[in-house]
Amino acid sequence: MRREHVLPAPEDTHALGRALAGLLVPGDLVVLVGPLGAGKTALTQGIGAGLGVGEPVTSPTFVISRVHRGGRVPLVHVDAYRLGGVADVDDLDLDASTEESVTVVEWGQGLVERLADEHLEIRLDRRDDDVRTALLVPHGPGWTGRLDPR
The percentage of residues in the chain with a pLDDT greater than 70, rounded to a whole number, is 79
What pLDDT score does 99 carry? Answer: 76
Structure-model confidence comparison of residues 62 and 5, the more confident one: 5
Structure-model confidence comparison of residues 112 and 16, the more confident one: 16
Read off the pTM: 0.86
Over 90: is that where the pLDDT of 38 sits?
yes
Structure-model confidence comparison of residues 20 and 1, the more confident one: 20
The overall average pLDDT reported for the chain is 84
Q: Residue 18 is which amino acid?
A: R
Over 70: is that where the pLDDT of 150 sits?
no
Question: Listing from the earlier edge strand, what are the strands of the sheet with 75-79?
Answer: 4-7, 132-139, 119-126, 29-33, 102-106, 75-79, 65-68
pLDDT tens profile 72-117: 999 988 886 555 544 454 445 454 466 788 999 887 676 666 678 8
What pLDDT score does 112 carry? Answer: 66
Over 80: is that where the pLDDT of 144 sits?
yes
What pLDDT score does 96 carry? Answer: 45
What pLDDT score does 68 carry? Answer: 83
Which domains, and CATH codes, for the chain? Answer: 4-147 (3.40.50.300)
**Bridge partners of residue 31, in order along the sequence:** 105, 121
What pLDDT score does 21 carry? Answer: 97
Residue 109, class by beta-carbon neighbours within 10 Å (0-12 exposed, 13-18 middle, 19+ buried)?
Answer: middle
Structure-model confidence comparison of residues 90 and 71, the more confident one: 71
Backbone angles phi, psi at 138, to 5 degrees: -80, 140
